[in-house]
Amino acid sequence: MKMTRKRLISFVALVLAILLGTFALDNLLPVLGVTPAVYLPDLAQTYVTTFVGLFIEAAPFLLLGSIAAGLITVFVTPDDMARVIPRNKYLATAMGALIGMIFPVCECGVVPVVRRLYQKGLPTSVGIAFILGAPVLNPVVIASTYAAFGFSTIFWARIGFTFLVALGVGLVFTVQPDLLKVVRPTTLMPVMGGSSDMIPAGSIKIETFATRLQRSFGVAADEFFDMGRYLVIGSLIATTLQTLLVPVSLRIPYNRSDLVAQCFEFGRVINTDYQVEGILVEAELTRDLAGRLAEYQMPVESLESRV
């Protein structure tokens, strides 16, 4: 197997994930009565644990998307795509927003699936609508949304607005049907290499179902490692944001409005409420600023009384 640049980057990303996971085990070793080889500061332990949690939570969905992409590559033909996709561009784009009902993939897994569908002749607008709609308009997310909110306004609004956004953005891409002008040309080629040489007709062999299934798993492995590096990078970014910012609820006196300005400047203010006792600020702040404003944090009793 040739070690291409993409495979090398994927290997490094995988090693990084394994190393961080190893450090995270130091949190479990004391529970087992084993002395950890390396002790990490509290902030580092929080960072590593959060990263591993995010990675492990997202990796199975990326794997499912990669497996779906492999099956599409081997078992779906351009003729199949032409028969399924409506000729009407508006109807086809609407269908793209709802393909997630058949391929229930998340934000990670939808990318390899769409990439392989593009190779089979999927129209540009349909793929864009699928990318935007599939993470929400799929049976798993719809069921979880119903479990959390029931048939409430939030439930219908989430489904409705997601469909409208996916449909609207997809229709924008109908003005440019040439896929080569929208995506990178390499996207339409196999992920790990490939050749443009003609294959002699005499060398083509009819594959059995088992052989085709094995080849689809090989494609799935390539997709998983190709997209896995982006999952590692995304997990690191999300972990950094979650670790550096902490949620707080503050009641700041009116004569210290400068502190409210600091919350806007060095954090993310979620809500402000001007009450008689002072300015109620709900925000995510840096740990340093949250520590300096500790005297203004609302006690637990006050938070429970507002619920």
Q: Are 30 and 180 in contact (CB under 8 A)?
A: no
* Cα–Cα distance measured from residue 81 to residue 287, given in angstroms and rounded to the nearest whole number: 52
Confidence (pLDDT) at 198: 43
Confidence (pLDDT) at 162: 93
pLDDT digit string (tens) for the chain, length 307 residues: 444 556 656 666 666 666 566 665 565 555 555 555 455 556 666 777 777 778 888 888 888 888 988 898 888 888 888 888 888 989 999 999 998 887 777 777 888 888 888 888 888 889 899 999 988 888 888 988 888 788 888 899 999 999 999 999 998 888 766 666 666 665 555 444 333 344 454 555 667 888 888 888 888 888 888 888 788 888 888 887 777 778 889 999 988 888 888 888 777 788 888 888 888 999 888 777 888 888 898 864 444 455 4
Q: Which residues of 272-284 are buried (b: 16+ CB within 10 A; e: fewer)?
A: eeeeeebbbbbbb
Confidence (pLDDT) at 91: 92
* Cα–Cα distance measured from residue 4 to residue 10, given in angstroms and rounded to the nearest whole number: 10
Confidence (pLDDT) at 194: 39
Q: Are 287 and 256 in contact (CB under 8 A)?
A: no
Q: Are 215 and 74 in contact (CB under 8 A)?
A: yes
3-state class of 121 per DSSP? coil
58 CB-near residues (< 8 Å, 6+ apart): 106, 108, 231, 235
